[in-house]
Amino acid sequence: MSLILALDFGGTKLAAAIAHAGSQEWLGYERRLSPANADASTDLEIMRSLIHALLHCRSKSRKIVYNSC
């Protein structure tokens, strides 16, 4: 079954979640507050860490393959 990775670059928080395609429930969700006066590079680094944490936790329980390039 296909997975969907959703990314939310908000003004006060950054969030990442995964779900099965067609599902109405998240399989996993990670979120962090955005630092005050953060630039795009900071937001991208935080989002990268959220994605890594989300997929790393998920891979242990559901055998999702994550290849960090």
Whether 40 is covered by a domain: the verdict is yes
* Domain count for the chain: 1
Q: Is 37 left (phi over 0), alpha (psi -120 to 50) or beta?
A: left
Residue 67 lies in a domain: no
pTM of the model as a whole: 0.75
Residue 69 within a domain:
no
Is 13 a member of any domain?
A: yes
Answer whether residue 49 is part of any domain.
yes
User: For position 61, what pLDDT does the model report?
Assistant: 56
What is the model's pLDDT at position 60?
Answer: 58
Domain assignment present for 38: yes
Does residue 68 fall inside a structural domain? Answer: no
Q: pLDDT value at position 67?
A: 39
The pLDDT of residue 21: 92
Domain span holding position 27 = 3-62
What is the per-residue pLDDT across 4-63, written as a single tens digit (0 to 9) for each?
A: 999 999 889 999 999 999 999 998 899 999 999 899 999 999 999 999 998 876 665 554
